[in-house]
Amino acid sequence: MTRAYFGTDGIRGKVGTYPITADFVLKLGWAAGRVFSRGRQDPVVLIGKDTRISGYMFESALEAGLSAAGVNTQLMGPMPTPAISYLTRTFRADAGIVISASHNPYYDNGIKFFGADGLKLSDAIEHEIEAEIDEPMTTVDSARIGKATRLMDAAGRYIEFCKSTIASQMKFGGVKVVVDCAHGSTYHIAPHVLSELGATVVSMGVSPNGFNINEGVGATKPEALARAVLDEGADLGIALDGDGDRLILIDHEGTIVDGDEILFIIASARLAQGELRGPVVGTLMTNLGLEHALAPFGVELKRAAVGDRYVMEMMLANDSTLGGESSGHIICRDRIPTGDGIVAALQVMEAMRASHKSLKDLRCGMDKYPQTLVNVRTRERVNPNQMDSVQALKTEVERELGGQGRVLLRSSGTEPLVRVMVEGADGDKVKRLAGRLADAVRDALDE
């Protein structure tokens, strides 16, 4: 069944444009509350948010909708998405909700859900919520209206959890790190985690004002961090996105280390410790270089559809402990059942300290294939695989790559974009072919 509102990562869009409106989010909170309260006494749902100005409005709307459905809420305030996953489980809550549009600009927002197990919701539960949205909104008897409380020590609880994901004796004394929090929900958490573990911390992107989230900083714009690492003479840089579930690293020479390379580093460390279980799970976008780097160790790379929820589904199906995306969603399932930028960064820093190697040295074990990604903006969501002219050119491009590369055309699950990806051994050829395919998509859209 096609979902009417949910995409690959919750519901997302421009604030004030349906469905990212106060009235819809009120109804969404009520609908979700109806589903999460079935068969439960005194149901509880946690609500966290990032630092967007619209978070105040949507937090109140969700709280009201959930209360009308008879659900108690605990308000976490600004907290990373993975923190809500963790706290939902530790509080034995029935669900967790995050108000965030992740790496998008401030004028977008969205709603993400976690089940009681800390995992993203299944398609089936999302369908149940959507079915309730179509029903007339009612209010439970006054004696059953949900109550709302605010948890004041949520950040401290999550900081301690993050520290617990590496060896208890591990310290980072003598390591200088620049951390970029994207003016997002990790601004009051990531610097404390690192400094409490002994690192010398230089912070940036830690002054949110409701409007500057992801603006020129963070995991999607790591160039400012790369300059800061060089200026500070730091050992590495850590770039998180607005809701803290994405990670990009910078080595001491200012070179970007993406999600595929981070997966390789953590996989190598887990292998050395005898802790890697199952295949490593990537996506259709994962670089061929990771697949080739893992093969000599007898480790298989499996590819899921793009989206961390699909990575997790494949990880669960294969009992895998490590998976993620090129964009920096890294899931260390032996630590937390969702992508967590801070936790993943700590695993890499632990690998650096344990091996006495720099981040540059650790990433050298993987040779990336040149890969070009072109985003073609559309007025509405379209399927490029149904464009005959584009498919004909795709076949021609694959023939020109001669089996030494890949072509991927897909519609974004979070934005009105068609993503065109070409990968191969020859970087100039890859760039040229990606441009041709992107032009073909634009021409097809104009027809």
Query: Which pLDDT value is given to residue 59?
Result: 98
Residues 6+ apart with CB under 8 A from 2: none
Residue range 88-131, pLDDT digits in tens: 999 999 999 999 999 999 999 999 999 999 999 999 999 999 99
Q: What's the rounded Cα separation, in Å, for the pair 177 and 320?
A: 30
C-alpha dist (Å) from residue 231 to 236, 238, 345: 12, 15, 21
Can you read off the two tokens belonging to residue 27? 């109804």
CATH 3.30.2010.30 correct for 11-152: no
Q: Residue 85: which of 338, 322, 341, 333 has the closest Cα?
A: 338
| 201-205, 231-235, 287-291: least confident range | 287-291
- In the chain, the amino acid numbered 45 is V
pLDDT band at 307 (very low <50, low <70, confident <90, very high): confident
Task: Break the chain into its structural domains and give their ranges.
Answer: 11-152, 157-253, 257-363, 371-446
Q: What's the rounded Cα separation, in Å, for the pair 54 and 247?
A: 24
- Has 195 been annotated as catalytic? no
Query: Which pLDDT value is given to residue 7?
Result: 86
Q: What CATH code is assigned to 371-446? A: 3.30.310.50
pLDDT band at 405 (very low <50, low <70, confident <90, very high): confident
Q: What is the mean pLDDT of residues 318-343?
A: 97
Evaluate if residue 230 carries a pLDDT over 90: yes
Name the active-site residue from 67, 85, 102, 412. 102
Query: Which pLDDT value is given to residue 1?
Result: 56
- In the chain, the amino acid numbered 17 is T
Q: What is the mean pLDDT of residues 432-437?
A: 96
Q: What's the rounded Cα separation, in Å, for the pair 258 and 248?
A: 5
Q: What is the mean pLDDT of residues 272-300?
A: 95
Q: What is the per-residue DSSP string for 150-203?
A: E-TTHHHHHHHHHHHTS-TT---TT-EEEEE-TTTTTTTTHHHHHHHTT-EEEE
Q: What is the mean pLDDT of residues 362-386?
A: 91
Evaluate if residue 414 carries a pLDDT over 80: no
State the CATH class of domain 157-253: alpha beta
Start-end of H helices in 216-358: 223-232, 259-273, 288-294, 308-318, 341-355
Query: Which pLDDT value is given to residue 3?
Result: 79
Query: Which pLDDT value is given to residue 9?
Result: 85
| 155-159, 245-249, 415-419: least confident range | 415-419
CB atoms under 10 Å from CB of 443, counted, come to: 13
Answer for the pair 82, 331: CB distance below 8 angstroms, yes or no.
Answer: no
Query: Which pLDDT value is given to residue 381?
Result: 81
Q: How many residues does the chain have?
A: 447
pLDDT band at 416 (very low <50, low <70, confident <90, very high): confident
Query: Which pLDDT value is given to residue 382?
Result: 86
* H-helix or E-strand spanning residue 239: strand 236-240
Average predicted confidence (pLDDT) for the chain: 95
Residues 6+ apart with CB under 8 A from 379: 416
Q: Residue 31: which of 55, 60, 66 has the closest Cα?
A: 66
- In the chain, the amino acid numbered 5 is Y
Q: What is the mean pLDDT of residues 200-210?
A: 98
Q: What is the mean pLDDT of residues 358-374?
A: 94
Residue range 82-93, pLDDT digits in tens: 999 999 999 999
Answer for the pair 228, 178: CB distance below 8 angstroms, yes or no.
Answer: yes
pTM: predicted TM-score of the whole model, two decimal places: 0.91
Residue range 1-29, pLDDT digits in tens: 567 899 888 999 999 999 999 999 999 99
Same fold, 11-152 and 157-253: yes
State the CATH class of domain 257-363: alpha beta
- In the chain, the amino acid numbered 192 is H
Place of tokens 């409380």: 149
